[in-house]
Structure 1
């Protein structure tokens, strides 16, 4: 039986007692990095000529320097030329990289190790200790990592004992450890990914006494280190005596890792919050910002300038020639420094201008910022007016003829000759739609796919006409025929029925049955929010909606369909509170949605997070959206209320019975059958949470959700001591 990974933290005093017992079997390699803290300097150092700017392949920028009078106090660097190429050091620490802009130094720090002999007893272990002084602190962009089986490693970060952390790894054998490349979660590898600021010490130690006292076969060694985040990738081969192939052998240790240190100006004045000036920011066109790690500040070049703010003259902050950069690398810099059409880039000190071309004025940095100056605008306007009067009659004739031909072409293109023979579909002309909707004057709603308008046919049937927004890409004739034919084949009592369509427009328009009571969203949260809706009525809505979605997902003529935009606003409520799932503008054949990275334009509060991260939309994505609708039914809260996600809040309180039940619609709990009502609500909550699982494979299918809801409804009916219907005044009918 294996233990789950644990993050361990102890008080400094308790841990010191443990470590005194451990040190008898450990050998600790102690490195004291003594970077002498300088007295407060009155002004920045003026370097002498001939100071080297590189050591080997590493740049050494001010305030760092090599040699006498080349570095600011506490920023000295030694270039060890016994290597080829030479390697820079500060103290005994080898430097990998120095960043002036970020205030960071990447260095190599030692790896603590502990190995076992053939009798599975621990050999003396190597710890690691590093003490930092100004201007250096351990950066928060590092993480603490331990590798091994049955390993406990500790990290101390401050000399006064105010910060101590650690982690545990367990595994019964190499095969029981995590797979290569998997995250370090405790099986052979553990991590503390978050390190606080103001850490001046890096002290790594082991606990091999009495907590985990056996060593799995094939895992002879354990290792622990602090390295920059995402540098280490776990491998089972790292258990060996050689360690990870990513470990670096440098001038001080045979095993080391890259670690990030933060540096700042900590002993040379302070940064003025009013002027943005500080003594160390000696370059013209520079300013200071307070560091986020410890006390001190960093110097930055002002906007429009680049260079070293700790240097003067040509080495300091100098003007960026944005125009030259645009010409040299247009793909990279034209978006960063835009000059729109009709303008030309001109460099200025600390900025640039986009001058409009001849006969234009304005600001070329703005899109359409250059406007034409045409003195003869009045003449052109008069000429246009006269020409329009002359051509009016001709244009009217041409327009009518073109409209007729266009309608005929669109009708044929949209598959009109084929759809004439499809059962249950009536083909309407564009003029008929204009008449039945009174030129689209009565809008029922508007969504991302278009607007919906109320209409009345010649047979006095109330209908809803859906007019789609034009798409960017041209829809092929086969796509139109397939979509309308597919939708017309979906016949279910809880699906909104397609009455007919119009094919004489760029995008076909659909004529749907009209549902007078609006959507479930309106009933729950809008005009009907004060209406009492009993639990059985809500169960009926849930069951009916689930039946519709399960039917869509089922193998209808070998073409299963996913909805793509399930939400309470797309579930319409009929006269007897029966639900009608609507808005098939997003629906798609399941095979097409799965294998062609289908783009969904639904409400983000309902969309499956797995789809947003992978682009894969499946029938389980509809299940997720339906789970949010179930939460709305039992809580009567919007999918996003008070700036908070309903799903997130419910998941937060789900396991706490009292907190979860406080989220239920308290109107339901006023019924006489409150105990059974609570039980039913709890079961509905269980079903919703199953639908909302992050792992797609753990979500039920809509058919399974439907079966669970039906069983729940039957159970509720057997305890029918509370209302089952809603009267016209929003009061329960008992």
Structure 2
């Protein structure tokens, strides 16, 4: 594997080979994630996006993306997805990441036919908390805020360990947890997922703070318990805001029924997850715990679990999962440089630069910066491609393009 502990690596797009029929690993508002095979790195996931312009624009994007990912690359963490580096080809650029075969947490939780034991759920909650604790405390003089925590942004290894990804909404924060005025623009449109966003962010669009990540984790813990999307009911934007102003939260009435069906050990797990969940989604951000407290609470209870039981629960879940093993199923022969992110297709000829008839960067920003409404993308996994793993709506790129083309 490449050494990514200190710097991003440069990858040649013609050295990453893809299986055209099985290449797509995910999609989002900004493009696709493509599975490819590199001679030294093995199978990788490449987040691809169009670059309207030439070499100077590509260099500008590379410089700014490198800055955004620099903190994560200085110090690795086992619960954060590995980013290997960057690649570029004519009219396009990509972020090269480790490929995680087991998909994302959202698909796993909504696939109710997959058994998911409570000890395993507790381990997932602890690993998510551990990753966010690292994000909130990394670096010497700065701390990072994820900004868009949701199950889609939690990838899974083949042994169902959590790996947090997609730092598109990430913000550098001071030790007080708030961004500087230079970092924050309250007038800027933001890509959020309403099911998991903190009420103060939705209602007042306050500057990003760590407490908003804590709230989002509370919603993820709710989904870990009930295996349903928070706020399944359809809301208009106004009704949703009013519900949040009134302190409304997802329905948890069935939690006692869950406890009644469980062993004493599992009841204890549900109890601690419920307790942490309700603390995390407090209406007053100052009343929410920090993620270090959350992690330690889960770790204390995880230490009481039998590792052999967790291993059996992992095996039971994996047996029912549709895990993509590209080494066995893919026949990569077409270089990544043949992929056109604008059309989402591979072409026999090398990609040509964008012409004037293609949508301008401004029009792409306008179409991709809307806030996701409740109910959008809330389909069951059976209604989606089961191997979609990555959310490509990366706000890093939106910020970069806005700055690049506003001058």
Find the counterpart in structure 2 of residue 482 from structure 1.
67
Alignment RMSD: 3.7
1:637 to partner: Cα distance: 1.0
Task: Give per-residue Cα distances to partners, 1:224-263, cap 9 Å, x unaligned.
Answer: xxxxxxxxxxxxxxxxxxxxxxxxxxxxxxxxxxxxxxxx
- Structure 1 residue runs of 4 or more that deviate by more than 6 Å after TM superposition: 644-650, 720-723
Q: Partner of 1:493 in structure 2? A: 78
SS in 2 for 1:641: coil
Rate the CA distance shift 1:682–1:450 in 2: closer, same or farther, 3 A.
Answer: same
Secondary structure of the residue aligned to 2:114 is coil
2:23–2:35 CA contact under 8 A, matched in 1: yes
Higher RCO, 1 vs 2 (CA within 8 Å, ≥6 residues apart) = 2
Contact 1:440-1:453 within 8 A present in 2 as well: no
Cα distance in 1 for partners of 2:6, 2:227 equals: 40
Secondary structure of the residue aligned to 2:40 is: coil
Q: Which residue of 2 aligns with 1:82?
A: none
2:120–2:313 contact (8 Å) kept in structure 1: yes
Give the match for residue 255 of structure 2: 661
5+ residue gaps, structure 1:
1-419
d(CA) in 2 for partners of 1:421, 1:653? 43
Q: How does 1:300-339 map to 2 (within 5 A)?
A: none
The answer for the alignment partner of 1:187 in structure 2 is none
Give the 3 Å change call, closer, same or farther, for CA 430–725 of structure 1 in structure 2: closer
Distance in 1, Cα, partners of 2:26 & 2:44: 14
Whole-angstrom CA distance in 1 between matches of 2:251 and 2:20? 50
Higher helix share: 2
Aligned partner of residue 540 in structure 1, secondary structure? helix
Distance 1:699 1:537 in 2: 25
SS at match of 2:303: helix
Match of 1:431 in 2: 14
Distance 2:217 2:223 in 1: 10
Picking from 6, 10, 34, the partner of 1:453 is: 34
What is the CA–CA distance in structure 1 between the aligned matches of 2:156 and 2:247, rounded to whole Å? 27
Matching residue of 1:590: 173
Determine the structure 2 residue equivalent to 1:710.
299
User: 1:691 Cα shift?
Assistant: 0.8
Structure 2 residue 271 is matched with structure 1 residue 690: no
* 2-structure distance, mates of 1:587, 1:614: 15
Distance 1:451 1:586, change over 3 A: farther
Question: For the residues of structure 2 that align with 1:680 and 1:629, how far apart are their CA atoms?
Answer: 15
For residues 514-593 of structure 1, the aligned pairs below 5 Å read 514-526=99-111, 529-591=112-174, 593=179
- Per-residue deviation, 1:602: 2.5
2:234 equivalent to 1:643: yes
The question of whether the paired residues in 2 share the 8 Å contact of 1:449 and 1:585 is answered with no
Structure 1 568/682 Cα, relative in aligned 2: closer, same or farther at 3 Å? same
Which structure has the greater CA radius of gyration? 1
Distance in 2 (CA, whole Å) between partners of 1:471 and 1:563 is 28
1:608 aligns with 2:198: yes
Distance 1:519 1:477, change over 3 A: closer
Unaligned runs of 5+ in 2: 322-407
Matched pairs, number? 297
CA distance in 2, matches of 1:721, 1:568: 21
Q: SS of 2:155's equivalent? A: strand
The structure-2 alpha-carbon separation of the partners of 1:539 and 1:721, relative to structure 1 and needing over 3 Å to count, comes to closer
CA–CA distance in structure 2, aligned partners of residues 500 and 721 of structure 1: 34
Residue matched to 1:699? 288
Q: Give the counterpart of 1:622 among 194, 213, 222.
A: 213
Q: What pairs with 1:98-137 in structure 2 (closer than 5 Å)?
A: none
Equivalents in 1 of 2:311, 2:99: separation in Å? 31
- Post-superposition shift, 1:639? 2.4
Give the CA deviation at 1:494.
Answer: 0.8
Secondary structure at 1:501 match in 2: strand
Q: Which residue of 2 aligns with 1:512?
A: 97
| TM-score, normalised with respect to structure 2 | 0.63
Cα displacement string for residues 105-129 of structure 1 (whole angstroms, at most 9, x for unaligned residues): xxxxxxxxxxxxxxxxxxxxxxxxx
Q: What's the CA shift string for 1:611-630, capped at 9, x where partnerless? A: 12133111111111111100
State the distance in 1 between where 2:247 and 2:270 align. 17
1:563-590 residue CA offsets vs partner (Å, 9 max, x unmatched): 1111111111111111111112222322
* Corresponding position of 1:729: 319
**Counterpart-to-counterpart distance in 2, 1:652 and 1:525:** 16
Normalising by structure 1, we get a TM-score of 0.37
The more displaced of 643-652 and 679-688 is 643-652
CA-CA distance at 1:508 after TM superposition: 4.7
The whole-number CA distance in structure 2 between the counterparts of 1:710 and 1:640 is 28
Tell me if structure 2 keeps the 8 A contact 1:523–1:531.
yes
Q: Deviations along 1:79-107, whole A, 9 cap, x unmatched?
A: xxxxxxxxxxxxxxxxxxxxxxxxxxxxx
SS at match of 1:603: coil
Q: Name the SS for the 1:572 alignment partner.
A: strand
SS in 2 for 1:604: coil
CA distance in 2: counterparts of 1:682 and 1:619, whole angstroms:
25
Distance 1:480 1:520, change over 3 A: closer
Deviation, structure 1 residue 481: 3.5
Of 225, 229, 234 in structure 2, the residue corresponding to residue 634 of structure 1 is: 225
Matching of residues 147-296 of structure 1 within 5 Å: none
SS of equivalent to 1:463: strand
